[in-house]
Amino acid sequence: MENIFEVQMLLDVKVPMKDGVNLSTDIYLPKTNEKLPTVLMRTPYSNNTDEMISKAKSLAKNGYACVMQDCRGRWDSEGVFYPFIDDGEDGFITQEWIGKQPWSNGKIGMSGSSYLGSVQWASAPYKSKYLTTMAPRVICCDFYNGLIYPGGALQLNVALSWGMRSNSRTGQNIDFHNWTEVFYNLPLIKMDEKAGRNLTFWKDWVEHPNYDEYWEQINVEKQWSEIEVPAFNMGGWFDLYSKETFTNYNGLKHNGKNESSKKSKLIIGPWPHALSTSTKTGDIDFGPDSMIDLDSIELRWFDYWLKGINNGIIDEAPIDIFVMGINKWRSENEWPLKRTKYQNWNLHSNGDANSIMGNGTLSKEKHTKEKPDIFNYDPRFPVQTVGGATCCSPHIVPWGPYDQRVVESRNDVLCYTSNILQDDLEVTGPIKLILYASTNVTNTDWTAKLVDVFENGYAMNLCDGILRASHRNNMSNPEEVIPDKVYKYEIDIGVTSNVFKKGHKIRLEVSSSNFPKFDRNPNTGKQFGTDTDLKTATQVIHHNDEYPSHLILPII
């Protein structure tokens, strides 16, 4: 649509909440007498940034009222900021306020990424009659499993660095902290203080290491059946919410309250948390086709739902994925793909899979009587995070694909590598590892990573996961392990879409740490968050006919 409207601004309009707190709201209106559809963006990062103002003016020029609001306790809004707690009701009240304004036509769409996506999901179950659609980017709905404790392990880097940036009324510069020193500080419960802040929500997160009522109250996954509007989900393969992008899409499509909510869409590219800002993510340039104008796609979505323009977007396939390796876009109708053939790729070795210099292999051949692999996990010297699906400070922990050979040179990283592929092999879908393992301590961690090994040896990480041994059965009631007893662990390694090219190899890394993406398990079994002791664990990975450890790959 042509940009035809001049724009007027109404700044710092106070919108009252239920408890009397006033939220600062900037409104951008096209100069017209017509009643307008509204795009609402609620942010803890200031509604007065260049990026926000630019988007607001662009939408207003295209005939939308654009409402940009500071979340409570942030910037010019009153109240106290505490992540995720007040966003549902505050968003609902704001929607009701917008719907009654003289310039409103009664239709509201919500936009924004990360926290700006979470506020969309939080408000939707309140069912304002004015909320018509959403476009959440890079976010989860279950903050325990999706953000703070995936696999039962604390997602340390993002929880602390984001918390440090966001704890006060305005943004905090954390770029000059010695993060290496900060992350090694113990106990965890006081790590915020070591970094120079006293964060109430950090301490609450550390004091709730299991899924309980604290997390239940902010889990929108339990409320999908109450949501009546569709969502256009946007994500990246190297975003920490890559898996959750699909979880949210499927959750609403299969459980939404009406037919509109089931008309949701999804797009995912080879992007990090910032999405489509460059053709290059990490080390890899995914080519010119990898960059997409997501704002233009979002505008088509809003034009259909808020203006009633029959532009065909609703008739297109609901899912668009970028297939890495061949670097091409492809439209799909469901996730996981119906045509998926799940293959078991078994772990093998002669008992010495330690590092890429070892003899670990990965193949579809069945297990026989094989020696287990053994390594020592010393939390004083954890395996370092090198890229991956991380957030939100790439100068602290880089995001995206990087050469993993520095990681794979360690003796405490087991490497299982396939033979050279004779043909292209597409892997698209959720990745899972079934691991049979024992340890000589009462609690420890297991990590796994899927890697594409190029012909020149370059080892490109695709996705990774972790499972805290105590949380192997569920996330609410942890159970210690009996030392030296073999347990079956199902490790969620995430999602990907990648063609392993002819001449490449498939590699699986197995270890017990991925730091500082995740906290170090001290291996002591003591109360979480209070421990200052560290204990070395002896880890045994079994792969034989009795304990058939295997990687499950979704083959297309």
Question: Would you name the residues annotated as active-site residues?
Answer: 114, 239, 273
The two counts, helices (H) then strands (E), for the chain are: 12, 23
446 contacts: CB under 8 Å, gap ≥ 6 = 435, 437, 466, 467, 469, 489, 491, 510, 512
- The torsion region of residue 140 among left (phi > 0), alpha (psi -120 to 50) and beta comes to beta
Q: At what angle do helices 87-99 and 115-123 cross, to 10 degrees?
A: 70
Residue linked to tokens 């010495």 = 352
Closest CA to 104 of 124, 129, 87, 122: 129
Contact present, 511 and 444 (Cβ < 8 Å): no
Residue linked to tokens 């999706």 = 146
E strand map for 187-293:
232-236, 265-269, 280-281, 284-285
CB atoms within 10 A of CB 533: 11
- 3-class secondary structure per residue, 385-425: CCCECCCCCCCCCCCECCECHHHHCCCCCEEEECCCCCCCE
CB atoms within 10 A of CB 216: 12
Closest CA to 266 of 312, 344, 321: 321
- The torsion region of residue 387 among left (phi > 0), alpha (psi -120 to 50) and beta comes to left
Tell me the CB-side half-sphere exposure of residue 478, using CA atoms within 13 A. Answer: 24
193 contacts: CB under 8 Å, gap ≥ 6 = none
β-bridge pairing 341-348 and 361-363 = antiparallel
Tell me how far apart the terminal alpha carbons of the chain are, to the nearest angstrom: 38
Contact present, 133 and 306 (Cβ < 8 Å): yes
Query: Could you tell me the sign of the dihedral formed by the alpha carbons of 450, 456, 458, 462, in that order?
Result: negative
Residue linked to tokens 């803890």 = 44
Query: Could you tell me the sign of the dihedral formed by the alpha carbons of 219, 222, 226, 229, in that order?
Result: positive
Contact present, 3 and 62 (Cβ < 8 Å): yes
Q: Cα 437 vs. chain centroid, distance in angstroms?
A: 27
